[in-house]
């Protein structure tokens, strides 16, 4: 175990180590783990220990872009309690991964461009101290995998993924994920690039497509996107059919057919 010393600036010296039992999860599943902690050189009243789901998001401001860390779930796993000097404790936790959590791994491998994880936060002496980010690898749900697989079969090639600040219709998140592809094969003659976004719930998900971006979901260029719904139990063939219909609908609206 690697204990991280928190609250050093307050002279507390409380040490915390978070161990994730399953760092590879899917949206809607349970993240299990424990927080081990031990006191410093004196007794302290701990107000709480929290697990914070965080993501690195791209923020546009005028002509400039920068990255900011956004929290999208915060769960208390321990406290309040009196932490005696030098004593060690452990707090197990089970946290439901939000359905809208963005994908950060495909096929067990990290998705390029994504920075997602959990941080442990200690509330002590009226102040907060957040530890380093423990990576969290969120793999696609089967329905999401069906969409990604269909795109691959159609000749689309993964380019990159990122998170953009903003809330889309039907979403509660302060950001949305864009998975970007280069177009190829049959659709390469209609557009060069495609952006994919999932808005996922417990029973179904909306799939948002945007081709040859001329603006974004929150700005101009909305006539180049399509949105359709996929149920989690849909057959892969149904998913591919819906995806093709969405792509062809965009092409017709732009006069590409």
In our burial notation (b when 16+ CB lie closer than 10 A, e otherwise), range 62-82 reads eeeeeeeebebbeeebbbeee
Distance CA 62, CA 59 (A): 10
CB burial of residue 93 (10 Å; 0-12, 13-18, 19+): buried
Distance CA 94, CA 74 (A): 12
Smallest CA-to-CA distance from 217 within 256, 164, 160 is with 164
Smallest CA-to-CA distance from 33 within 1, 81, 80 is with 1
Ordered DSSP codes for the chain? ---EEE-GGGT--EEEEEEES-SEE-TTSEEEEEEEEE--SS-EEEEEEEEEEEEEEEEEETTEEEEEEEEEEEEEEE-SEEE-TT-EEEEEEEEEPPTTPPP-EETTEEPTT--EEEEEEEEETTEEEEEEEEE-EEPPPHHHHHHHHHHHHTT-EEEEEEEEES--TT--SSEEEEEEEE--GGGTTT-SEEEEEEEE-SSEEEEEEEES-SS-TTSS-GGGEEEEEEETT--HHHHHHHHHHHHHHHHHHTT--
In this prediction, residue 5 carries a pLDDT of: 53
**Both structure tokens of 107:** 């096929």
At a CB cut-off of 8 Å and minimum separation 6, what does 252 contact? none
In this prediction, residue 231 carries a pLDDT of: 97
Q: In the chain, what's the furthest Cα-to-Cα distance?
A: 74
pLDDT tens, N- to C-terminus, the chain (257 residues): 444 555 543 456 788 889 999 999 999 999 999 999 888 888 888 899 999 999 999 998 777 788 899 999 999 999 898 989 889 999 999 999 999 999 999 988 999 999 999 999 988 877 777 777 889 999 999 999 999 999 999 999 999 999 999 999 999 999 999 999 998 777 887 788 999 999 999 999 999 999 874 444 444 444 578 999 999 999 999 999 999 999 998 877 655 44
**Both structure tokens of 141:** 């749900």
In this prediction, residue 222 carries a pLDDT of: 43
The answer to whether 168 touches 197, Cβ cutoff 8 Å, is yes
């Amino acid at each position: 175990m690697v204990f991280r010393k928190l609250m050093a600036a307050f002279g507390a010296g409380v040490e915390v180590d978070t161990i994730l039992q399953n760092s590879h999860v899917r949206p809607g599943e349970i993240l299990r783990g424990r927080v081990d902690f031990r006191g410093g050189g004196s007794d302290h009243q701990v107000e709480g220990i929290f697990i914070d789901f965080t993501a690195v998001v791209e923020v546009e401001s005028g002509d400039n872009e920068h990255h900011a860390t956004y929290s999208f779930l915060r769960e208390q796993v321990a406290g309040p309690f009196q932490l005696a000097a030098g004593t060690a404790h452990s707090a197990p936790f089970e946290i439901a991964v939000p359905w809208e959590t963005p994908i950060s791994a495909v096929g067990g491998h990290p998705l390029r461009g994504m920075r997602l994880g959990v941080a442990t936060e200690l509330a002590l002496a009226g102040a907060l101290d957040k530890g380093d980010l423990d990576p969290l690898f969120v793999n696609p749900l089967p329905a999401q995998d069906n969409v990604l697989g269909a795109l691959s079969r159609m000749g689309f090639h993964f380019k990159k993924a990122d998170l953009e600040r903003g809330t889309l219709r039907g979403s509660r998140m302060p950001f949305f994920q864009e998975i970007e592809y280069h177009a190829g094969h049959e659709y390469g003659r209609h557009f060069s690039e495609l952006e994919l976004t999932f808005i996922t719930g417990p029973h179904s998900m909306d799939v948002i497509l945007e081709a040859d971006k001329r603006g974004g979901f929150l700005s101009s260029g909305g006539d180049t996107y399509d949105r359709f719904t996929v149920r989690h139990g849909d057959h892969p063939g149904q998913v591919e059919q819906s995806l093709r219909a969405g792509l062809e609908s965009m092409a017709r609206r732009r006069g590409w057919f």
